[in-house]
Amino acid sequence: MIRMFYVLAAVASLSMVAMAGADFYVSPQGDDGNPGTLEKPLKTLQRARDAVRTFQGSSPNKTPAGGVTVWLRGGRYELSETFVLGPEDSGHEGCPVIYRAYADECPVLSGGRVIRGWKKVEGELPGLPEAAKGKAWVASVPDARDGKWHFRQLWANGKRLVRARWPNDGELRYRVIDASTPSADALRDPRLLERWREELKRAWRTVEIQADDLKALPGGSLPPDLGNGPAELFTRNGGRWATMRIPVATAHGARLAMAVPMGCLSYYWGGMRLMSPTAGTGYLENALSFLDRPEEWYLDRKAGLVYYVAGEGEDPNAKEFVAPKVEQLVGLRGTARKPVRFVQLRGIRLEHAHWPLPEFGYRPALGCYYGTQLTPLVAAVPCPAGSVRPKDEYPEYCLPAAADLMYAQDCQLELCRVGRVGASGIGLGEGCRNDRIVGCEVFDAGGTGIHAGLPHGPMCGEDFAWNRPEDEPQRNEIAHCYVHHTGQMDWGAYGIYSGYCRGNRIAHNLVEQQPYSGICACFTWFAFPSGRDEEVTVEYNNIHHVLLKLFDGGGIYTKDGVAKTSVIRGNLIHDIGGQTRDNNGIFLDDGSYGFHLEGNIIYGVTMPVRFNNTSKEKFTWGTNYFGVPSYPRELAEKAGPQEPYRSLLLGRQSK
């Protein structure tokens, strides 16, 4: 009863103070018993949100003229769960509810936990490589004991650290020795085909490492502790446009027993298509036996201990180590009937979002969509004419976003920094309309930087369309943003992605340092028979140094986009590719058609514009400029972020 009295008294105090104004203040040094003034700020965002709710409930006109502003003082706000704003937290037109940084201060919403108390490893530690002896440190993380918190990223002073891996440089070579493909009879007989599919659940699980690569390991064989982590095999689909992570069950000699079948999802014939059927390259990650280089780390999930190799003269206790724990940091989450409206976030940093590896591994196709079914198929498996498979036969998901919007309308993220996250950065999902992501920086993300059209929950990639018209994201804008160094976990991620949307504008962004393509627009799997037009505008973006690890993409990439009223214009695309092939400026793939292309400047590429299963005649063309000498300088100067965002974004350093 006494506690309830104090709670009611605090709410009453907040209500009385708020009646006198529309500003609230929050500080990491504040107190949730305070009234929320500049002199006596609140401590948590949740308490500030509740204060705004109380105020709006007591105001006859709801949000007052000019809106309500929650000012965040500088410092670190450690989140224990996603900070969610719902329909009841909305403003209205001309009177938004704004959460913003105070003056020139830097508020950081962190989903991570600081790891302290590093001690030097003394005595013998079984499995520790010779190169790490005398340099290894250990810290206790009780919350991680017995696998309760299996973090897969670790940052020290803001730098993403490498999980212990082998080989340290380059990639190992392997082959799948229990590969199984259907016989000619099985391809003709549905009963035999079904039997083969059932057998596949036990196949594609034995991987043999090439003998020449094993010579670098002690004894010339794989260490037996690979199943303790568990370790992961990181590999790619022939080096083209996707990578996968498959957990290891055990290791012996030159062979790995995988916890689930090998295979990379592709949307053909309803399941897994093996992009590298019997061989591949990659590396192994997350084993104590691979902890042999400075700034590598390893988490012992059973004991709740994290190990780190220090450099010469380095004391880990002098650094700030942060491991991510919360998967999504901020969520604007409405419903189809009651969206979140007129909410803005300005000048806030979002960092340290967690993303765990699914039990079935991570097997993506394009765009960070990943499969969930454990029976791989090969591309030759036929689909009976006229058949339509159930929507949930092979459910697929998409990487989540640290800043997640769903049924949010007329909302805005401005000058926010989203980085050091396990999955994607910013996501615009179902029902997002007239939202703006403007002047934001997204960096060091495991997946895609900014994803427009992000589905929540299971979906079917081949047949995917929003279940209801009101679910389709429409008329959103991604402008003046700086997106770089994303795809840290999945090399097949994009800098900016727009798919299954209508009327989006992607303009004046700078996209660089990407393992795969820069901007993806009008993405679908197979062109919709209805002639659905995404009406996207991709203009005046500066895209360079992308396709650094994979190929078969482009600075701008489209996939099956039906885009009769869409425009790609004024983009500056240059210095594309780290591979030797398919380094395209603009890649118009498969069923793409209808775009108008003009004023694009493209140089430093293998091919300025590439067509695959489409042709030049399916698009309309203005004047474009291919090669360095001939383009108009004034046109190039329009590309990328413009004032007032240019100096703010490009002058930043990712600390």
Contact 432, 470 (CB under 8 A): no
The residues spanned by each domain of the chain are: 2-108, 112-164+291-322, 172-289, 510-639
For Cα atoms 263, 268, 269, give the angle at the middle one, nearest 5 degrees. Answer: 100
Contact 382, 187 (CB under 8 A): yes
- pLDDT mean values, one per 10 residues, the chain (655 residues): 35 38 91 96 97 81 80 97 97 94 96 97 93 96 90 97 95 89 77 78 88 89 86 82 90 92 56 58 94 96 95 96 98 96 98 92 83 51 39 70 98 98 97 97 98 85 69 95 97 94 95 97 62 80 96 90 84 87 88 90 94 92 90 92 89 57
Residue 544 φ/ψ, nearest 5 degrees: -155, 160
Residue 264's pLDDT is what?
57
CA dist 288 and 462 (Å) reads 41
- Residues with Cβ within 8 Å of residue 340, at least 6 apart in sequence: 85, 86, 87, 89, 90, 332, 333, 334, 405, 407, 408, 409, 411
Residue 465's pLDDT is what?
66
SS3 string of 242-285? CEEEEEEEEEECCEEEECCCCCEEEEECCEEECCCCCEEEEEEE
Residues 8-46, buried b or exposed e (16+ Cβ, 10 A)? Answer: eebeebbbebbeeebbbbbbbebebebbbbeeebbbbbb
Residue 531 burial (C-beta neighbours within 10 Å; 0-12, 13-18, 19+)? exposed
CA dist 400 and 427 (Å) reads 8
DSSP letter at 94 equals T
CA dist 639 and 54 (Å) reads 45
Contact 461, 525 (CB under 8 A): yes
Contact 168, 293 (CB under 8 A): yes
